[in-house]
Amino acid sequence: MKRSNRLVALTNFFLENPRTHTQFPYFVSQLATTKASISEDMDIIDAVFRSEGIGYLRRTTGAGGGVKFIPACVDEKNKCFVEALRQKLKDPVRILPGGYLYMSDLLGDPKTVREIGRVFASTFSKKNIDVVVTVATKGIPLAYAVASFLNVPVVIVRRDPKVTEGSSVSINYVSGSSRKIQTMVLPKRSLSEGAKVCIIDDFMKAGGTITGMINLLEEFHATVQAIGVLAEADDEEEERVINDYTSLIKISNVDMKKKAIDVHFGNFIQ
């Protein structure tokens, strides 16, 4: 295969297989070329990936040596994307009863969801994550987007057990906003003991749901490595129980009567 064709095929391969270690002989045989040529191809791809803010190629040498594509956005690109999101969320027409924001249109756009996933995956790039955990249903697309860049599976915590998932572990917890006792379940087969977990959700107020997830994950002896929420809302009546999390957007001063709202950057920018 010619260099120009190889570059297209290799670029596609890396983008479709993030964080996947691939040995050089695989490329040599697939693309019918030499190791030296592949190495030059990778120099070109790595340079473009870096300059375009897509990520980079991590190469290892020696026996079993190969290459891994690490998706990683530059901070500036992430900030631009979140700023665009912030502008969209500022629209007071989004205010819903109870101080919630209508975000289903943004969460229904696969491209926006993918970009949110890219921002979290970049932010959590150095953490050692085995699995992304979310709670049904709004966090699901975000969890898949993050997981696809991290190349790990997704596990979904539910409000009620389903016949299609077999036996489950369940816990009860008190929801911060409604003060009601709620239930969360996780199928036994879905998570291996001691997994290193990243929790992803769309919205956090007092943090009751995420606390519930942490408690449930303790039953599986999982370690929470990272917590990412798209939007957090200041809730003055409640003390935040979760401290170590990353948010992209922060909402405050929701005034239902005046239809006013403040939308800021979350804590993802230090």
Residues of the shown chain interacting with its own copies in the complex, contacts defined by CB under 8 A: 3-5, 7-9, 11-12, 15-17, 44-45, 47-49, 52, 54, 96-98, 100-105, 108-111, 113-114, 136-138, 140-141, 144, 147-148, 151, 153-156, 158, 163-166, 187, 189-190, 203
When the beta carbons of 40 and 75 are compared against its own copies, the nearer one is: 40
Shortest spacing between CB 97 and its own copies, in angstroms? 6
- Phi and psi at residue 85, in whole multiples of 5°? -65, -45
Shortest spacing between CB 223 and its own copies, in angstroms? 19
SS3 127: coil
When the beta carbons of 3 and 126 are compared against its own copies, the nearer one is: 3
Shortest spacing between CB 203 and its own copies, in angstroms? 7
In Å, how far are 6, 29, 58, 144, 228 from 41, measured between CA atoms? 8, 15, 14, 30, 35
Shortest spacing between CB 63 and its own copies, in angstroms? 27
Amino acid letter, 77: K
When the beta carbons of 114 and 264 are compared against its own copies, the nearer one is: 114
Shortest spacing between CB 1 and its own copies, in angstroms? 9
Shortest spacing between CB 105 and its own copies, in angstroms? 7
67, 24 Cβ separation under 8 angstroms: yes
> How many helices (H) and strands (E) in the chain?
8, 13
When the beta carbons of 104 and 253 are compared against its own copies, the nearer one is: 104
DSSP notation for 1-26 = --HHHHHHHHHHHHHHSTT--EEHHH
SS3 246: strand
In Å, how far are 10, 86, 205 from 62, measured between CA atoms? 21, 46, 50
